[in-house]
Amino acid sequence: MSIEIYTITHKPFLPPDDPMYIPLHVGRAGSKNLGYLGDDTGDSISLENPFFCELTGMYWIWKNNCKADYIGICHYRRYLISEKGMIFTEGELEKILSRYDMVTTKLLTLTCSYEHGFSQNHHDKDLKCTEDVLLEKYPEYYDTYKRLVQGPNTYFGNIFITSREMYARYCQWLFDILFEVKKRTDFTGYNSYEKRLFGFLSEFLQTVWISYNNLKVYECMVGMSGEKYETRKLKEELGAFFAKRDYKGAQQHFLDCYAKRPDVLMEASDITGELRICMQIISTCCFEDDAKGSCILDYIKDYGQLISHFHQLNQAVANSLANKATPREQLFLSDEKLASPQAVQIAKQLIYSSRK
């Protein structure tokens, strides 16, 4: 049994030290060559990367390089991991794949239906168009689609491993649908995030494919090797605003970025939770400045120190609410310069909200 797992990337990274994991530069036709295997040779849709994301690599593998017995897709910072918390070895996968049709991510359970969740960050018409195309081309899948789109579950990331034959059948079905949807889609007014439509649609369509075909699936956790470039860049930019005591500028910049990339606050993007802390810092500064004409940025301007300070504040407030605050935490909370009434109140609201 031979297994090839293609590690999808659009930027330089440190690949796993295992030849089973093969770096694949997606969208290479429209970007600087990173020195990896690219998706822009032979039968290719590399230039469609702004719309298809990792799927340009998935298409290239299907059309040009399906030679291994099993084919897998992961990302430069997202890997399927074992119960030990490590990326899989070939030997481990051989045992699993001898008993399962596919290895993929844990099935997500959303707090709403997939249909409603999609509408919050995308255009409703695109999901309706996908439904129409599926009904026209593959009517046998329609009941499964309707049941799942009204439910709360989906797989995510287009991260999976399956046999070469299953991979080819899935790609034939998937791209037949997506190419037709693209023909019918008007992208006028879409921002760069919204244009990545087919990367998002395909995650749900994978769920439909698995359910309809009654595949025996081995679900496992996804390990994160680092945060998104966009997340890291936003944190650096917010830090620059904080250093200048410009919390209003930080607020506007964050809102502008969030409007373009609402995924930056997802746990898979903001893996350290620091962007949420940045939002707390901005809110705290607004209320402090209004109340007393000064704010925490008058005492602390360094980004790392600010993040550490608010972690300490939140922990102290949480312990105080549970009547478990240490003497050191009580002293911290009594210093209005470090823990103003406004800062403490906002921390309490966040704690109550997270508990709900």
Task: Give the residue extent of every domain in the chain.
Answer: 3-224, 229-355
Q: pLDDT higher for 258 or 303? A: 303
> How high is the pLDDT of residue 67?
82
Phi, psi of 180 (to 5 degrees): -70, -40
| Inter-CA distances, 311 with 46, 55, 232, 305, 339, Å | 43, 38, 19, 10, 12
Residue 93 burial class via C-beta count within 10 angstroms: exposed 0-12, middle 13-18, buried 19 and up: buried
277: its two tokens: 């802390």
Q: pLDDT higher for 322 or 270? A: 322
What's the one-letter identity of residue 280?
A: Q
Query: How many residues are present in the chain?
Result: 356
> How high is the pLDDT of residue 354?
66
CB atoms within 10 A of CB 126: 23
Q: Is the pLDDT of residue 228 over 80?
A: no
Per the CB < 8 A criterion, the answer to whether 200 and 178 are in contact is: no
2 in helix, strand or coil? coil
CB atoms within 10 A of CB 108: 15
74: its two tokens: 């992961």
67 in helix, strand or coil? coil
Q: Is the pLDDT of residue 24 over 60?
A: yes
Q: pLDDT higher for 47 or 66? A: 47
> How high is the pLDDT of residue 65?
75
Q: Is the pLDDT of residue 261 over 90?
A: no
| Nearest by Cα to 281 from 256, 249, 310, 302 | 310
Would you place residue 271 in the very low, low, confident or very high pLDDT band (cuts 50, 70, 90)?
A: low
Residue 48 is classified by DSSP as G
pLDDT digits (tens, 9 = 90+) for 89-147: 999 999 999 999 999 999 999 889 999 999 988 999 999 999 999 999 999 999 999 99
Q: Is the pLDDT of residue 224 over 90?
A: no
pTM (whole model) above 0.75: no
Per the CB < 8 A criterion, the answer to whether 296 and 306 are in contact is: yes
Q: What is the dihedral of CA 351, 354, 355, 356, to 10 degrees?
A: 120
> How high is the pLDDT of residue 268?
56
Averaged pLDDT of the chain: 92
Q: Is the pLDDT of residue 239 over 70?
A: yes
Enclosing H/E stretch for 328:
helix 327-334
